[in-house]
Chain A
Amino acid sequence: MEFVAYDWWTQFVRWGHIISGIMWIGHLWYFNFTQTPTMPKIPTELRPAVVRFILPEALFWFRWGAMFTLGFGIILAWMNGYLLDAIKIGLGSNNHKFTAIGIGMWLGTIMWFNVWFIIMPNQNKVMGVTSATPDEVNAARRTAGLASRVNTMLSIPMLYGMVFSAHFY
């Protein structure tokens, strides 16, 4: 008898994927639904508290949530044996699930790329981690904000693809 069965490991990886995903998308929605719309209402002298203390901490959990979600997700698809079918969004197979999970995976991967290669480098300029002129900081804030909004938009069909594939049939 195996000490820990293969099925147990797929459940563990699925659980890791979901809690990392909540960490990631929870912070994404916090930024877009709470922090960004509230910033203009915060008195100027209090704003550094958000930018210097809350934002770096939130971005830490946000970006590593994204990394672990992607990592666990790829391992899970591989363990379930449909990684390639999902990458091909079910083309050449006769299964709706591969198309749904595949679209979800591609959207999630675009979102992960946005986090690590667009949002973070620009937020680092906004937070002063990397040096930038005031004009560059303003441009960086706009680019990061836009990429964050794109991710919020994509999170809706991404989650539909993920949940649809597991529960519709």
Chain B
Amino acid sequence: MEKLLNSLAGTVVAGFVLVIVEILVIHAIH
């Protein structure tokens, strides 16, 4: 995880992956 976050591009990609997780959570709850 630290290796991923040491890369700025990795940080941004991880952020976008979390958006997909977030959308899935929103739709899973409703």
Q: Which residues of A contact B (CB under 8 A)?
A: 32-33, 37, 89-91, 94-96, 99-100, 103, 146, 149-150, 152-157, 160-161, 164
Contacts and interface: CB of A to CB of B under 8 A. Distances in A.
Given A32-B11, A91-B29, A153 B22 contact: no
B29 to A, nearest CB: 5
Contacts of A32: 8, 11
Nearest to B7: A149
A108 to B, nearest CB: 13
Interface of B: 2, 5-6, 8, 11-12, 14-16, 18-19, 21-22, 25-26, 29-30
Contact of A94 (B6, B12, B25, B30): B30
24 contacts: A33-B8, A89-B29, A90-B29, A90-B30, A94-B30, A96-B26, A96-B30, A99-B25, A100-B22, A146-B5, A149-B11, A152-B12, A152-B15, A153-B5, A153-B11, A153-B18, A154-B18, A155-B15, A156-B15, A156-B19, A157-B15, A157-B21, A160-B19, A161-B22
